[in-house]
Homo-oligomer: A and B are copies of this chain.
């Protein structure tokens, strides 16, 4: 079991196949080549790159990529690999090749969150059956080592809640809106011009990318199966410059959060019952919250655990080199397991918690209303809120123009079902002209 390189002089090289050679693939190839000696020492034997699967071997490439290793023959590549690094993206070919690799007994490292969110259970089962690793640190928040943190560092603790900024594009857009007073459309266009947002930004701005990561984190943290479809998802397209100003006036910033929490309630028999709530939504974070200062394309994830308290993991959420660093960390772990034995903790869903209902999840809301500027309106609003069993923490009124005013109501904690009914009822309350926005407000 010793690591000393001289203890196993005859160990054959570990054969590594890479699927895909885009930005991340190129950096993985570069690091595997440049750090070959160091990696060999950390693993206990040399890693030998056997091939790189591409669509077109003649396409122009970074000089770091050895063109002699490029191939279009996936079958031959997989037949000759101990460890497969999947960097193709997509969920069809990637799923078939990863499944084939695992079934053939190869360990797999992937950065593909969409693949895990759609085919995770099938792939975890294949890895379990073969007794090999399926590792995916790079699939959630780039270089930020939150997957290992949740899966290994907190293995002796109980995670209660995860709160993360896991999409750099939306964080960049919200940042631009906050610092430049821009509206969403303008900030999106700017992000596209700077290459921070794609031509079709849907997956980012509608929150789908963050939702896939939330599903992965929730599955890990609560040892349960959370599918993409289980994640309640709201993006940032409806966030306005005025919303951001209003958040600032109440001492906070708007961030798109991926949230996964363990909900403990009491069932009919008085026994504690557990469930999970997983969602993505824009929320107001007070300035003092550790996530409030996470700017630009950075990602950060706060994990609240019973014994550890609040931990935060922070770093580059995307980019070729940072993502490649996370991939390589997993490559070393999987290669060590194939060399010295052992295996990363499996994605066993032994808890199998149900999804929480709206009546069990509590939140605070900031509700902003455009109202008639006349006596009695605040009383109507207060009564509507109280009638739904929700109590008010604070109200701010600002006089507008043409006989209108804005009311910003912040509630105390209440269950989501009651809060939804409150918001609906406020739309039809006497004196309310328009519901401007409703945001969850996190505690510092």
A residues near B, CB below 8 A?
1-4, 27, 31, 35, 38-39, 41-42, 128-129, 131-132, 137, 143-145, 148-149, 152-158, 223, 290, 293, 300, 305-316, 319, 321-322, 324-329, 331-333, 336-337, 340-343, 345-346, 348, 350
Contact = CB atoms under 8 A, between A and B. Distances in A.
7 contacts: A3-B128, A31-B157, A35-B156, A155-B329, A290-B293, A300-B312, A309-B322
A307 B322 contact: yes
Given A156-B35, A324-B307, A3 B348 contact: yes
B143 A148 contact: no
A310 B316 contact: yes
Contacts of A328: 155-157, 307
Nearest to A133: B1
A308 B336 contact: no
A264 to B, nearest CB: 15
Given A31-B156, A42-B155, A157-B31, A342 B343 contact: yes
Nearest to A132: B1
Contacts of A324: 307
A309 B2 CA distance: 31
A309 B143 contact: yes
A25 to B, nearest CB: 14
Copies of this chain assembled into the complex: 2
B3 A345 contact: yes
Contact of A2 (B128, B137, B300): B128
Contacts of A131: 1-2
Contacts of A143: 307-309, 311
B310 A311 contact: no
Given A305-B325, A316-B309, A328-B307, A343 B152 contact: no
A315 B315 contact: no
A345 B156 CA distance: 20
A314 B290 CA distance: 9
Contact of A4 (B158, B322, B348): B348
A156 B32 CA distance: 8
Contact of A155 (B223, B333, B346): B333
Contacts of A128: 2-4
A340 B343 contact: yes
Contacts of A327: 156
Nearest to A302: B314
Contacts of A290: 293, 314
A137 B153 contact: yes
A327 B315 CA distance: 25
Cβ-closest 9 pairs across A and B: A342-B342, A156-B328, A341-B341, A1-B131, A145-B153, A308-B325, A155-B332, A307-B325, A311-B315
A322 B308 contact: yes
B156 A148 contact: no
A39 B314 contact: no
A332 B332 CA distance: 20
Contacts of A137: 153
Most buried by B among A35, A155, A327: A155
Given A152-B152, A307-B325, A309-B315, 6 more contacts: A1-B343, A143-B311, A155-B332, A156-B325, A306-B325, A309-B316
A312 B315 contact: yes
Contact of A156 (B331, B337, B346): B331
A172 to B, nearest CB: 16
A73 B340 CA distance: 35
Contacts of A41: 223, 348, 350
Contacts of A322: 307-309
Given A152-B333, A153-B329, A333-B155, A313 B316 contact: no
A308 B326 contact: yes
